A = this chain, B = another copy of it.
Amino acid sequence: MNLFIRDARLPDQTDPVHISIQDGRIQAIGAGITLTDPDIPVLDAHGLAATPPLVNGHTHASMTLFRGFGDDMPLMQWLQTRIWPAEARLNEEDVYWGARLACLEMIRSGTVAFEDMYWHFHGMARAVEESGLKAGVGAVMIDVAGPEQGQACRKLTEKTFEESSRYSNRVRFTLTPHAIYTVSPESLRWTAAFSERHDLPVHIHLSETWHEVETCLKNHGVRPAVHLDRQGLLTPRVILAHGVWLDDEELDLIAARGATLVTNPVSNMKLAVGGVFPFAKAAARNIPIALGSDGAASNNTLDLFQEMKFLALIQKHAQHDPTALPAHQVWEVATGAKAPQLGQCAQLTVGAPADLLLLRHHEPEMTPEHDLISNLVYSATGHIVDTTIVSGRILMQNRMVPNEEEIRREARERAQRVCSP
């Protein structure tokens, strides 16, 4: 895809620049560059700021169908009476439309890449393919029912992996064992071997609740990260979601193994897990860190602009320090600059994939502009995103996304059906 963006402002500069995109990559940036090929479309970005896009390190996209379906309930009652019965009714088309709604929401709030974990791989993968976004997609693995379920899961994973070649490279096949308390050591070890053999990323929940830590200590005699490491599943290919209760020893281990941590502040607060992700300790060990929204059922939005503010504020609150996690650091985390494993280029530089946002940085809530990044983290919402571009392709311009009406209607109807007893 080729595109010439005229007169965009970069966050650290006052004079506007032009951005030339060729074959989906940034070919040149500067005030002096000119459009040489009259056939290349021109995008007028006057009054807009160009920034890297945001990256969602942990979500269950199709759970948009369950947004607001049983908020404020005790966890087990919510799962048993609302989520599980509804999930049992989900088919691949439901997952597809739920994911389309999630992708629509992400495009509108400036997220271009995400790590997903859910059922019905092909529903999810098709939605990513058609939306124009990038995602790590997996077929979730749970084998609490015993060895037969484990075998079926592993077989499904192998089959799905083969089938995943039908998608473009925007769909990255990912191994998604659910968690240490829902996946057997045997299946975890199998996942580790499969990941190594095919060089595949792994995405798993870890240390979300204190109950998980206690159960792991009781069943395995060690804390969650140590247990995972013993199954061979702490590697640079592994993405660990939550990590609320990790202790110093576990953080040392994760740092040594090179795994990535994803913090989900809104979900952790909404479900009242009690603890706060040990950001300062993880950052001090140079552990790669990304930001995640978790699913819409426990958030309830996928807007990472809002999530950035929660990240900064819960860390300041928990550390009793207003200087903790300043805005510029939050911005780095949310754009994926601190988590190279997520594969997103967080810099607008020549040669990088042309993934970028054009932002309405003059909105009233962004005025005055003493510090654009401060405004982005503490005052903006996803609604300031005017234009979302992936690999030079415009997914939204002037806040208009094609097929929005159809996606909202289909998702609404399917949500109603799967949530009706």
Contacts and interface: CB of A to CB of B under 8 A. Distances in A.
A321 B368 contact: no
A104 B364 CA distance: 7
Contacts of A382: 365, 381
A374 B71 contact: yes
Interface string A57-98: 000000011111111111100100000000000000000000
A70 B327 CA distance: 11
Contact of A370 (B105, B302, B374, B415): B415
A101 B368 CA distance: 9
A314 interface: yes
A134 interface: no
A369 interface: yes
Interface in A104-129: 104-105, 108-109
Contact of A379 (B104, B108, B301): B301
Contacts of A266: 309, 313
A300 interface: yes
A416 B365 CA distance: 16
A303 interface: yes
A56 to B, nearest CB: 14
Interface stretch (A143-151, A218-226, A256-264, A269-277): A269-277
Q: Give this chain's copy count.
A: 2
A269 B411 contact: no
A375 interface: yes
A306 B270 contact: no
A170 interface: no
A371 B322 contact: no
A164 interface: no
A71 B101 contact: no
A68 B270 contact: no
A245 B21 CA distance: 55
A367 B302 CA distance: 12
A316 interface: yes
A387 to B, nearest CB: 16
B416 A272 contact: no
A362 B406 CA distance: 12
A408 B367 contact: yes
B313 A270 contact: yes
A364 B404 contact: yes
17 contacts: A66-B370, A67-B379, A68-B368, A68-B370, A71-B378, A74-B322, A78-B322, A101-B367, A105-B365, A269-B317, A271-B316, A272-B320, A300-B374, A306-B309, A362-B408, A368-B412, A381-B382
Closest 10 CB pairs of A and B: A368-B415, A68-B374, A72-B326, A383-B383, A269-B313, A300-B378, A381-B381, A69-B370, A301-B379, A272-B322
Given A274-B320, A299-B379, 11 more contacts: A64-B367, A67-B370, A67-B379, A71-B374, A266-B313, A272-B322, A272-B324, A300-B374, A301-B378, A364-B404, A381-B383
Interface of A: 64-75, 78, 101, 104-105, 108-109, 266, 268-272, 274, 296, 299-303, 306, 309-310, 312-314, 316-317, 319-327, 362, 364-365, 367-371, 374-375, 378-379, 381-383, 404, 407-408, 411-412, 415-416, 419
